[in-house]
Amino acid sequence: MVEEGQKAPDFTLPTGTGETMSLADFRGKPVVLYFYPRDNTPGCTKEACGFRDLHEVFSEVGAVILGVSTDSPSSHKKFAEKYQLPFPLLSDEDAAVSTAYGVYKEKTRYGKKSMGIERTTFLIDGDGVIRKIYPRVKVEGHMEQVLEDVRHLSNG
């Protein structure tokens, strides 16, 4: 698991629009990197729409939002279009990036064990250093907390 104060692992992943993006593309800007389990599930939809609704405010403070799950680029494309998501969704189909960040874990749901992403957000500064980790995110109020922390980061 990566820790606060460490350099964020760089990556290059495909988006739902067919391009690829790297974390390094956003040097100089704070990045809100949020990992979520699945497109079109209730919690993930609520989280994505929460970030969508605050996207303009995040942009005003210079922050970039990136969502990551193990869904395919085509799933991301449909999910983003359905909910008018204005930020990139990155496809980590082999879970390599999720594993590097320590969020791909064994989960138990209804008594069945499976591997999947544990909902986690990372706030990364313009130098690529992880400033805050939000483990096991509860969606309610999360986006507002991240925005407040981005503002503190931007102010100094």
Which residue in the list 13, 31, 32, 44 is annotated as catalytic? 44
> What per-residue confidence (pLDDT) applies to 156?
58
> What per-residue confidence (pLDDT) applies to 108?
80
Which of 123, 125, 122 has the alpha carbon at shortest distance from 28?
125
Q: Note whether 34 and 49 are within 8 A (CB).
A: no
- Per-residue exposure over 13-46, b if at least 16 CB sit within 10 Å of its own CB, e if not: bbbbeeeebebeebeeebbbbbbbbbbeeeebbe
**pLDDT tens sequence for the chain (156 residues):** 799 999 999 999 999 988 999 999 999 999 999 999 999 998 899 999 999 999 999 999 999 999 999 999 999 999 999 999 999 999 999 999 999 999 999 888 788 888 899 999 999 999 999 999 999 989 889 999 999 999 998 775
Longest dimension (CA), the chain: 46
3-state secondary structure of 27: coil
Kindly list the distances between the CA atom of residue 42 and the CA atoms of 38, 45, 88, in Å, as whole numbers in the listed order.
9, 5, 19
Global pTM reads: 0.95
* C-alpha to C-alpha distance for 55 and 61, rounded to whole angstroms: 10
Can you give the length of the chain in residues? Answer: 156
The DSSP bridge pattern shows strands 130-134 and 104-109 to be unpaired
Task: Check if 49 is active-site.
Answer: no
Q: Left if phi > 0, otherwise alpha if psi is -120 to 50, otherwise beta: which for 57?
A: alpha
